[in-house]
Amino acid sequence: MATGDRLLTLEGTEPVRQVAILGNLEVDLVLGYVDNMPRWGEERIVGHRENRAAGSAGYTALMLGALGYTPRLYGCIGDDAEGAFLLKAFRDAGLTTDGIRVLGGSTGLSVTMVRSDGERCFLNHLGCLAEYGERDLQDCLEELSQTDLVLVSGYFLMPRVRGRVLAEFFSELRQAGVITALDTGDAVDGWTEEVRNELQPVLQVTDCLFANRDEVMGISGSTDFVDGVQTLREIGVTQVIAKMGAMGSGISYGTNWIQRPAYDVNVRDTVGAGDAFNAGFIGAWIDGFSVVERLEMGLATSALFISSPTHPLPTKDELEDFIRKQAPWRRPV
């Protein structure tokens, strides 16, 4: 994509066509429900456990695949049973796995504990994610330079990609006319000044930042959400796409702030909720939808996913049917 086309696409007049997702590929061991977390030395019993594919980046790619899109997927897995589990999930979803490196050691693992209200917390073992770094990014740079949009998700779970490495990578992609997108996730060691300083050069070459309310305030260092969004724009982020839970979602770009309400659903668990939103938003962008419609599709994809008792990946037909039933005034796919 030429630089001028990239700018038109960001302004909402052109679709993205070829999308790539790069980031943390993990097995999620989901345990629930845990309403009374044990203290050190204590035990609890849960009634549900489930192995899920596949980390923040993996969830986004899988959901795009289920919606009928064909994103390129990049990351790493270990040479183990968990890695084989992820590869099968990706291939079953119709995704190509050529961009996934099989490294020595174990596949990343997230132990996810879910409360009965759907909220969750995580413990991560990085495994081979700790080894994925600058050389791996450079090896796929030529391929990624042929795409329209690259989303890096799970930033804090790839320590060798953080800071300068990703900033230089994004800069090279932008020079090739590629839209750069980032979903950091939560800061694993807290939102410190050191973390904010590390992220600043990355944000300066980030076109689209996907972040929830806590992340907006954590990355910006602001105690006020609105001020936080403005700070991120001033640092250099072209678009801040905010995921605000029960308050819906919003996007800041140019001089605009557009917000859409959340869908009213019975939440089962919120694991992958933000990744589902990202997939719906990007899918609508691929289809050439407006900024407002991208927000709508992100919200609908997330709502459908987190309200299902069995957590299937929603298809486009299911998404269209869900929107019609939930709110006829919202435009379906």
Distance CA 125, CA 114 (A): 18
pLDDT of residue 9: 62
pLDDT of residue 99: 95
List the structure tokens of 265.
């659903």
pLDDT of residue 158: 97
pLDDT of residue 301: 93
- Res 281 pLDDT > 80: yes
- Res 331 pLDDT > 60: no
Distance CA 299, CA 4 (A): 29
Distance CA 194, CA 207 (A): 22
pTM comes to 0.90
The residue type of 143 is E
Place of tokens 């801040």: 240
Q: State which CATH number among 3.40.1190.20, 3.30.365.10, 3.40.50.720, 3.40.50.360 fits the domain covering 3-24+56-104+132-326.
A: 3.40.1190.20
Expressed in percent and rounded to 5, the helix, strand and coil fractions of the chain are: 40, 20, 35
Phi, psi at residue 152, to the nearest 5°? -100, 120
**5 — pLDDT class (breaks 50, 70, 90):** low
**Burial letters for 157-186: b for 16+ Cβ neighbours within 10 Å, e otherwise?**
bbbbbbbebbbbbbebbbebbbbbbbbbbe
pLDDT of residue 46: 87
**333 — pLDDT class (breaks 50, 70, 90):** very low
**3 — pLDDT class (breaks 50, 70, 90):** low
In percent, how much of the chain has pLDDT > 70? 93
